[in-house]
Protein backbone atom coordinates (compact mmCIF):
# COMPACT_ATOMS: atom_id res chain seq x y z
CA UNK A 1 0.00 0.00 0.00
CA UNK A 2 1.56 3.24 -1.16
CA UNK A 3 0.38 5.47 1.66
CA UNK A 4 1.04 3.02 4.52
CA UNK A 5 3.89 3.92 6.90
CA UNK A 6 4.52 0.30 7.86
CA UNK A 7 4.68 -0.79 4.20
CA UNK A 8 7.28 1.95 3.72
CA UNK A 9 9.26 0.61 6.69
CA UNK A 10 9.05 -2.93 5.25
CA UNK A 11 10.40 -1.62 1.91
CA UNK A 12 13.19 0.23 3.69
CA UNK A 13 11.95 3.66 2.55
CA UNK A 14 11.58 4.79 6.19
CA UNK A 15 14.17 4.01 8.85
CA UNK A 16 13.25 1.57 11.59
CA UNK A 17 15.05 -0.02 14.51
CA UNK A 18 14.61 -3.57 13.29
CA UNK A 19 15.24 -6.44 15.70
CA UNK A 20 13.87 -9.38 13.70
CA UNK A 21 13.05 -10.25 10.10
CA UNK A 22 12.18 -13.33 8.07
CA UNK A 23 10.48 -13.79 4.71
CA UNK A 24 6.98 -13.08 6.09
CA UNK A 25 7.36 -10.99 9.24
CA UNK A 26 9.32 -8.01 10.55
CA UNK A 27 9.69 -6.68 14.10
CA UNK A 28 10.99 -3.25 15.06
CA UNK A 29 11.01 -0.93 18.05
CA UNK A 30 8.01 1.36 18.44
CA UNK A 31 8.97 4.97 17.67
CA UNK A 32 6.93 6.22 20.61
CA UNK A 33 7.29 3.39 23.11
CA UNK A 34 5.49 2.74 26.35
CA UNK A 35 8.72 1.32 27.73
CA UNK A 36 12.24 0.14 26.83
CA UNK A 37 11.93 -2.70 24.31
CA UNK A 38 8.36 -1.94 23.15
CA UNK A 39 8.28 -3.86 19.89
CA UNK A 40 5.86 -4.15 16.99
CA UNK A 41 5.52 -7.43 15.08
CA UNK A 42 3.88 -7.24 11.67
CA UNK A 43 3.44 -9.08 8.39
CA UNK A 44 5.53 -7.79 5.51
CA UNK A 45 2.49 -7.94 3.28
CA UNK A 46 -0.21 -5.36 3.93
CA UNK A 47 -3.21 -6.61 5.90
CA UNK A 48 -5.43 -4.30 7.93
CA UNK A 49 -6.00 -6.33 11.08
CA UNK A 50 -6.88 -9.73 12.52
CA UNK A 51 -10.02 -9.96 10.40
CA UNK A 52 -8.24 -10.11 7.04
CA UNK A 53 -4.99 -11.75 8.19
CA UNK A 54 -4.64 -15.31 6.88
CA UNK A 55 -4.69 -17.78 9.78
CA UNK A 56 -1.29 -19.30 8.93
CA UNK A 57 0.33 -15.88 8.94
CA UNK A 58 -1.28 -14.97 12.24
CA UNK A 59 0.02 -18.21 13.74
CA UNK A 60 3.48 -17.43 12.44
CA UNK A 61 3.32 -13.91 13.91
CA UNK A 62 2.32 -15.43 17.24
CA UNK A 63 5.39 -17.66 17.17
CA UNK A 64 7.60 -14.64 16.59
CA UNK A 65 5.83 -12.71 19.37
CA UNK A 66 6.63 -15.58 21.73
CA UNK A 67 10.26 -15.71 20.63
CA UNK A 68 10.78 -11.96 21.01
CA UNK A 69 8.96 -11.89 24.36
CA UNK A 70 11.27 -14.59 25.67
CA UNK A 71 14.28 -12.66 24.40
CA UNK A 72 13.12 -9.36 25.93
CA UNK A 73 12.46 -11.12 29.20
CA UNK A 74 15.95 -12.66 29.25
CA UNK A 75 17.66 -9.37 28.35
CA UNK A 76 15.71 -6.77 30.30
CA UNK A 77 14.01 -8.76 33.07
CA UNK A 78 10.76 -6.75 33.11
CA UNK A 79 8.15 -7.40 35.79
CA UNK A 80 5.68 -8.43 33.10
CA UNK A 81 5.02 -8.29 29.37
CA UNK A 82 1.83 -6.84 27.95
CA UNK A 83 0.91 -8.11 24.49
CA UNK A 84 -1.92 -6.47 22.62
CA UNK A 85 -3.26 -5.90 19.16
CA UNK A 86 -5.69 -3.12 18.31
CA UNK A 87 -8.22 -3.95 15.61
CA UNK A 88 -10.12 -1.01 14.19
CA UNK A 89 -9.91 2.70 14.98
CA UNK A 90 -12.41 2.47 17.85
CA UNK A 91 -10.18 -0.19 19.43
CA UNK A 92 -7.22 2.18 19.27
CA UNK A 93 -5.68 1.11 15.97
CA UNK A 94 -3.83 4.13 14.64
CA UNK A 95 -1.85 2.43 11.85
CA UNK A 96 -4.08 0.36 9.61
CA UNK A 97 -1.42 -2.28 8.87
CA UNK A 98 -1.89 -5.25 11.22
CA UNK A 99 0.62 -5.37 14.09
CA UNK A 100 1.05 -6.88 17.52
CA UNK A 101 2.52 -4.83 20.38
CA UNK A 102 4.96 -6.40 22.84
CA UNK A 103 5.31 -4.07 25.83
CA UNK A 104 7.71 -4.92 28.64
CA UNK A 105 6.34 -3.60 31.93
CA UNK A 106 8.88 -2.38 34.50
CA UNK A 107 8.33 -1.11 38.03
CA UNK A 108 8.02 2.47 36.77
CA UNK A 109 5.91 1.78 33.66
CA UNK A 110 2.56 3.53 33.77
CA UNK A 111 -0.24 1.39 32.43
CA UNK A 112 -3.86 2.36 32.25
CA UNK A 113 -6.00 -0.52 33.35
CA UNK A 114 -9.39 -1.19 31.78
CA UNK A 115 -10.31 -3.31 34.78
CA UNK A 116 -12.19 -0.48 36.54
CA UNK A 117 -14.33 0.06 33.45
CA UNK A 118 -15.54 -3.53 33.15
CA UNK A 119 -19.24 -4.30 33.15
CA UNK A 120 -21.11 -7.18 34.65
CA UNK A 121 -23.95 -9.02 32.92
CA UNK A 122 -26.76 -11.05 34.42
CA UNK A 123 -26.82 -14.85 34.25
CA UNK A 124 -29.61 -14.62 31.61
CA UNK A 125 -27.51 -12.32 29.47
CA UNK A 126 -24.40 -14.50 29.87
CA UNK A 127 -26.44 -17.59 28.86
CA UNK A 128 -27.72 -15.69 25.81
CA UNK A 129 -24.17 -14.70 24.81
CA UNK A 130 -23.06 -18.31 25.11
CA UNK A 131 -25.91 -19.38 22.80
CA UNK A 132 -24.99 -16.70 20.29
CA UNK A 133 -21.25 -17.24 20.45
CA UNK A 134 -20.71 -20.97 20.87
CA UNK A 135 -18.57 -22.36 18.06
CA UNK A 136 -18.97 -25.92 16.97
P1 LIG B 1 -1.73 1.21 17.04
O2 LIG B 1 -2.33 2.33 17.82
O3 LIG B 1 -2.05 1.31 15.56
O4 LIG B 1 -1.99 -0.13 17.60
O5 LIG B 1 -0.16 1.40 17.18
C6 LIG B 1 0.63 2.05 16.26
C7 LIG B 1 2.01 2.18 16.88
O8 LIG B 1 2.91 2.50 15.83
C9 LIG B 1 2.12 3.28 17.93
O10 LIG B 1 2.55 2.71 19.15
C11 LIG B 1 3.13 4.26 17.34
O12 LIG B 1 4.01 4.77 18.31
C13 LIG B 1 3.87 3.40 16.33
N14 LIG B 1 4.37 4.13 15.17
C15 LIG B 1 3.71 5.06 14.44
N16 LIG B 1 4.49 5.48 13.42
C17 LIG B 1 5.66 4.81 13.52
C18 LIG B 1 6.86 4.83 12.77
O19 LIG B 1 7.02 5.57 11.79
N20 LIG B 1 7.85 4.00 13.17
C21 LIG B 1 7.72 3.17 14.26
N22 LIG B 1 8.76 2.40 14.57
N23 LIG B 1 6.60 3.13 14.99
C24 LIG B 1 5.59 3.95 14.63
ZN1 LIG C 1 0.91 -1.48 5.01
Q: Which of 46, 60, 71, 99 is catalytic?
A: 99
Give catalytic status of residue 38 as yes or no.
no
Q: Maximum distance among all alpha carbons in the chain?
A: 54
Give the closest residue to 101 by CA, choosing from 22, 10, 28.
Answer: 28
pTM: 0.95
Label residue 104 left, alpha or beta by phi (over 0 means left) and psi (-120 to 50 means alpha): beta
- Report the pLDDT value the prediction gives residue 116, as an integer from 0 to 100: 78
CA gyration radius for the chain?
17
**pLDDT tens for residues 27-38?**
999 999 999 999
Domain boundaries, the chain: 5-133
CATH code 3.30.428.10 for 5-133: yes
Mean pLDDT, rounded, for 36-59: 98
Distance 95 CA to ligand 2 centre (A): 8
For residues 136 and 61, the model is more confident at 61
Given this model, what pLDDT does residue 112 score? 83
Q: What is the pLDDT of residues 73-101, one digit of tens each?
A: 999 999 999 999 999 999 999 999 999 99
Ligand 1 atom at shortest distance from the alpha carbon of 85: 4
The C-alpha torsion from 98 through 115 and 104 to 12, rounded to 10°, is: 20
pLDDT band at 52 (very low <50, low <70, confident <90, very high): very high
The pLDDT value given to residue 8: 98
CA 128, 132, 136 angle in degrees (round to 5)? 130
Is residue 77 left, alpha or beta, with left meaning phi > 0 and alpha meaning psi from -120 to 50?
left
Amino acid sequence: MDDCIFCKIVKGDILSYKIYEDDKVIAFLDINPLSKGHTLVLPKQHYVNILDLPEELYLHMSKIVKKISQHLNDKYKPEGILINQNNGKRAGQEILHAHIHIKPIYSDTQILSEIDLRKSFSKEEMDKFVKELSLS
